[in-house]
Structure 1
Amino acid sequence: MTTVEPSDAISPSGRSAISPPDKGLQSERTSLSFVRTSLSILGLAVACLRWLPPFGSVAMIGPAIAAVLIVAVTIYERRSRSSRLELFAREKATPALGMGAVLAVSLLVLAASGLWILVT
């Protein structure tokens, strides 16, 4: 952890000269967490393949939809990472609520398909 000396805190113009030590790492961690979560959900969708023999191809509708959503989130995440880093550097970044919502929907689709398999 770095310490800030009082002489370093104010520039000659009277404004604060302290720059944040984080140069986009927070945004990078967020991006990596989206990728990690996406891979986990995709792994769960692949694990649903064990339902294929006893229940047929109808059991794969939910996991297939979830897999498509996850691949879409991953592609969007890779393409928008640089623009989000720029926005973060200019302190104009907004939360990635859309990607989080798509991840949540994919989990709900997987859960609903799993419940449907258990009920039928």
Structure 2
Amino acid sequence: MTTLRSENVPKSPDGGLQSERTSLSFVRTSLSILGLSAACLRWLPPFGAASLIGPLIAALLIIAVTIFERRSRPARLALFTTEKATPALAMGGVLAMSLIVLSASGLWILLK
């Protein structure tokens, strides 16, 4: 019977690209939500300034996620190369929360 030892396991040729793809997906999702928040400016004339509360909160959450993601990227890359990386659940949660806030504010405006 043979056993796998750590020296027999081939190293991944990825070299951290998976972490880069994850980072780019956070940026891409953030930009799309930020664009949707900017598109909500069309509600300003008929509904007034109260219609901008939800998009403004969503935009602030997105900006916070983007700044945090940019600052934590090198540390995540280092953890990924040592195979100690954990999922970025907090950033994903904040992105989801910004979508919920944006959706709720849109429903509130339409039902008002």
TM-score, length basis structure 1 = 0.87
Aligned with 1:95 (options 76, 81, 87): 87
- Report the counterpart of residue 21 of structure 1 in structure 2: 13
Change (3 A) 1:14 1:40: closer
CA distance in 2, matches of 1:30, 1:99: 11
Residue aligned with 1:15, SS: coil
Percent sequence identity is 71
Structure 1, gaps ≥5 residues long: 1-9
Q: Deviations over 1:60-94 (max 9, x none)?
A: 00000000000000000000000000000000000
TM-score, length basis structure 2 = 0.93
Letter aligned with residue 106 of structure 1: S
Change (3 A) 1:53 1:91: same
Aligned CA RMSD, in angstroms, stands at 1.6
Aligned with 1:54 (options 39, 46, 61): 46
Change (3 A) 1:94 1:14: closer
CA distance in 1, matches of 2:14, 2:26: 19
Structure 2, gaps ≥5 residues long: none
- Runs of 4 or more above 3 Å deviation: none
The alignment of Structure 1 onto Structure 2 pairs a total of residues equal to 109
Structure having greater relative contact order (Cα 8 Å, sep ≥ 6): 2
